[in-house]
A = this chain, B = another copy of it.
Amino acid sequence: MRSESALIERIRAMAGRPQRMVMGIGDDCAIYRPSTKDDLLFTTDLLVEDVHFRRDSHPADAVGHKALARGLSDIAAMGGTPKFCLLSLAAPPWMDDKWLDMFYRGLLRLAKKTDCPLVGGDLGHAEKLMCDIVVCGAVPRGKALRREGARPGDSIWVSGRLGGSALGLEKQQGPAWKSHLYPKPRLDIGLQLRGKASATMDLSDGLSIDLHRLCSASGVSAELDREPPRFAGAAPEHALHGGEDYELLFTLRSAAVGPKGTTRIGAITPGNPGAVHLKGERLEPLGYDHFRK
């Protein structure tokens, strides 16, 4: 394993020289000069070995990809454009230079594709790998999409097809496994929802719990009149309760129509805040809660 200084040099060389940054990797802080027209968005997301991924099944570049994708998905959910990211990484004893290079390769490939340069972070060690991604995004002032604006009468929409990640985790092969390993944050759809959606969030823990959260934040309830579109081969449970699809969940004023690639699945109603029904039956929030026993 390289020394800490050599490692920082290696990461800096791989990351390249970011545009618009006064200072990237290599000092006590990264320095960013904000535009006067933007609100800035900030999100952090943990990725923990044996919780979010397993060393024996997940390739290193997929772990790096997912670390960043989780943060980018939050930026997409607010209608933002990514600006830069930072990564804190606690390296475990089993990690070697090759694994680490592949991890950063996966992360930096997605960073380049989404114009979100890596500009800093921290390095440490721990018994198991854990990393925390910080992503900064920007939206025109006052235009961020929030999860609290859904009103009775609004329609409920999701992007893409759900359940692929949960199915993939079970099968560990095929297109579903690929969608689990390399999720695509829906930045393009988030942009199209700016000034249009009344409430938006990303589907990270599962439709049932995330829709419950959106309804709780908005003080409304939801009636789904159909199941969400399912990833090929996925069961209804995968699509309703499976996490890590990183699709977008959003609401529109009644007459509006969602962007291409999105599907209307129901409507917002008054009533018990946070309650969700599917075809008249109560849909319990069975998605992922880190603190549920």
Contacts and interface: CB of A to CB of B under 8 A. Distances in A.
A4 interface: yes
- Residue among A28, A41, A45, A291 with most chain B CB within 10 A: A28
A255 interface: no
A42 B42 CA distance: 11
Nearest to A77: B28
Contact of A29 (B74, B122, B289): B74
A31 B137 CA distance: 9
B80 A290 contact: no
Interface string A123-146: 111111010101011000110101
Given A44-B88, A292-B3, A75 B34 contact: no
A289 B292 CA distance: 37
Contacts of A90: 46, 48, 130
A59 B250 CA distance: 43
Interface string A102-127: 00000000000000000111111111
A60 interface: no
B43 A28 contact: yes
A22 B290 CA distance: 27
Query: Which size class do A's interface residues fall under?
Result: 35 or more
Nearest to A52: B124
Nearest to A134: B134
Interface in A196-247: 201-202, 213, 216-217
A118 to B, nearest CB: 12
A290 B46 contact: no
Contacts of A5: 213, 216, 289
A87 B134 CA distance: 10
Interface in A52-66: 52
- Residue among A50, A125, A201 with most chain B CB within 10 A: A125
A122 B46 contact: yes
Contacts of A142: 22
Contact of A132 (B4, B122, B289): B122
A136 B42 contact: yes
Contacts of A50: 127
Given A43-B120, A125-B48, A291-B3, A137 B29 contact: yes
A39 interface: yes
Given A3-B289, A46-B124, 11 more contacts: A22-B39, A22-B142, A27-B217, A29-B75, A29-B78, A31-B39, A31-B78, A44-B87, A45-B88, A51-B125, A127-B128
